[in-house]
Amino acid sequence: MNVVSVKDYQELSEYTCNEIERVVRSTPHSVLGLATGGTPLGTYREMINGFKERNVDYRHVTTFNLDEYIGLGRDHPQSYYTYMMNNLFKHINVSPENIHIPNGSAEEMDSECLRYERLIEEIGPPDLQILGIGSNGHIGFNEPGTSITSETHIVELAESTRKANARYFSSLDEVPQHAITMGIQSILKSKRILLLASGSHKAKAVKTLLECLPDEQFPASVLKGHGDVTLVVDESAGG
Ligand code: F6R
């Protein structure tokens, strides 16, 4: 695993945006794997600037998001669909038909998992996958103990994950119990991965990641088995 140490959140966001823009400029029909949460918000802000000020063209780009809550409905203010629309997609020229986010309101969730995984196989895999890291080491919503062979599947969210995400809801009770997520294997299919970590609340996870051997109990560590993963980490997260 390569490590790129940056000064702060702004540098992390600029670095990540630059890498994305490089891929999109060199391969106009590129596939991007995208994450939600607090960490990539700065990257998305920089991408919007790049679209407006540097003529970056997303017209032919395809995107796959990692995950979605089950039971919120895509128009719910806290759905990842709404997050992606508000924080990125509606501000750049990506074509709506090229945006893929798992459907957390599908009638048949098992079929939805299969449909999503097949789509990744048909169109993907991502040329570049952006990941955040949970304090328990999760990537996507793959909580500790998730099999390295997992494809898109339904998960029960860990209590620590629900608590971490409760900041976006009016109470912990409102945070969904379940989500649909690309599996570890689906993520490992990506050609290149950037794992982002910013802030002192991520320092412990970063330390564990750097010190441990690949272990399903700390999902981010299995990325060490992939040939092209870069941890982008700022000073407060231990970089
Ligand atoms: C989000 C996702 C999660 C987050 C992780 C870190 O799509 O898949 O794995 O990347 O929970 O979240 P933040 O960035 O809010 O600290």
The rounded Å distance from CA 130 to ligand 1 centre is: 10
Output the residue whose Cα is nearest ligand 1's atom 1: 36
Q: Is residue 8 annotated as part of the catalytic site, yes or no?
A: no
Please tell me the predicted confidence (pLDDT) of residue 225: 95
Q: Is 26 exposed, middle or buried (0-12, 13-18, 19+ CB in 10 A)?
A: exposed
Number of Cα atoms under 13 Å in the Cβ half of residue 95: 10
Nearest atom, ligand 1, residue 202 CA: 16
The pTM score is 0.97
Please tell me the predicted confidence (pLDDT) of residue 239: 77
Give the residue ranges of the chain where pLDDT is below 50: none
Output the residue whose Cα is nearest ligand 1's atom 4: 132
Distance, in Å, from the CA atom of 151 to the CA atom of 231, rounded to the nearest integer, reads 23
As given in the structure block, the two tokens for residue 97 are: 């038909």
Please tell me the predicted confidence (pLDDT) of residue 29: 98
* Category of 199 on φ-ψ map: left (φ > 0), alpha (ψ -120 to 50) or beta: left
The rounded Å distance from CA 203 to ligand 1 centre is: 15
Please tell me the predicted confidence (pLDDT) of residue 98: 98
Please tell me the predicted confidence (pLDDT) of residue 138: 96
Residues 6+ apart with CB under 8 A from 124: 31, 33, 62, 64, 189, 190
Q: Is residue 127 annotated as part of the catalytic site, yes or no?
A: no
The verdict on the CB of residue 36 being under 6 Å from ligand 1 is yes
CB 34 within 8 Å of CB 63 = yes
Output the residue whose Cα is nearest ligand 1's atom 3: 140
